[in-house]
């Protein structure tokens, strides 16, 4: 069975960094190894958006170009209507009493809910630096890249 992984914004940002040094190099080597073993790695549209908007704001053109190449090399996962409906269900489910545990302000779009829905749609494990928030969504598998 092919291992399916979906990248949260943190690890995607490390892979998009123009300098392959330190932690960025470790993440890059980790991805190369997984791909050589036949894993399918997704760049979800929500993570691309969250990272890209900050790179644009900061004028980091080299990182934007690298992000563009990653979207072509890895499996780019666009957001669908079904994913957004699932994200809305996730968003509401973690806010219900008696023990609400939201991952964002109630007026925020909540990228974590969208990412969880994207992961569920392809049955992928989310690779993140923020296990606490993403583990709140039922049926979602979450890990840090160093733990996989």
The number of domains in the chain is 1
Mean pLDDT, to the nearest integer, of 38-45?
A: 98
Residue 20 has pLDDT above 80, yes or no: no
What range defines the domain where residue 12 resides? Answer: 4-147
* Cα–Cα distance, 121 to 27 (Å, whole number): 24
Q: Give the pLDDT of residue 39.
A: 97
pTM listed for this prediction: 0.93
Q: Give the pLDDT of residue 104.
A: 85
Which phi and psi (to 5°) does residue 96 adopt?
Answer: -75, 140
Q: Give the pLDDT of residue 21.
A: 72
Q: What would the pLDDT profile of 79-130 be if each residue is shown by its tens digit?
A: 999 999 999 999 999 999 898 888 888 888 899 999 999 999 999 999 998 8
* Cα–Cα distance, 124 to 3 (Å, whole number): 8
Output the domain CATH number for residue 113: 3.40.50.1010
According to DSSP, residue 104 is labeled: S
Q: How many residues does the chain have?
A: 148
Secondary structure class of 41 (helix, strand, coil): strand
141 falls in which pLDDT band (50, 70, 90)? very high
Alpha helices in 43-126 (DSSP H): 45-58, 61-73, 81-93, 111-122
Tell me the two tokens of residue 110.
Answer: 């909540």
Computed over every residue of the chain, the mean pLDDT equals 94
Q: What would the pLDDT profile of 53-86 be if each residue is shown by its tens digit?
A: 999 999 999 999 999 999 889 999 999 999 999 9
Beta bridge partners of 142: 126
CB 20 within 8 A of CB 30: no
Burial class (CB in 10 A: 0-12, 13-18, 19+), 132: exposed
15 falls in which pLDDT band (50, 70, 90)? very high
């Amino acid at each position: 069975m092919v291992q399916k992984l979906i990248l949260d914004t943190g690890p995607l940002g490390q892979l998009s960094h123009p300098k392959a040094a330190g932690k960025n190099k470790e993440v890059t080597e980790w991805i190369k190894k997984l791909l050589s073993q036949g894993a399918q790695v997704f760049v979800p549209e929500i993570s691309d958006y969250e990272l890209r908007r900050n790179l644009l704001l900061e004028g980091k053109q080299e990182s934007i170009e690298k992000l563009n190449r990653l979207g072509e090399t890895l499996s780019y996962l666009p957001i669908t209507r079904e994913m957004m409906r699932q994200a809305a269900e996730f968003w509401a489910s973690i806010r219900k009493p008696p023990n609400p545990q939201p991952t964002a302000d109630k007026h925020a779009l909540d990228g974590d809910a969208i990412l969880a829905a994207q992961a569920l749609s392809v049955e992928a494990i989310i690779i993140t630096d923020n296990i606490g928030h993403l583990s709140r969504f039922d049926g979602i598998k979450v890990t840090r890249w160093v733990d996989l």
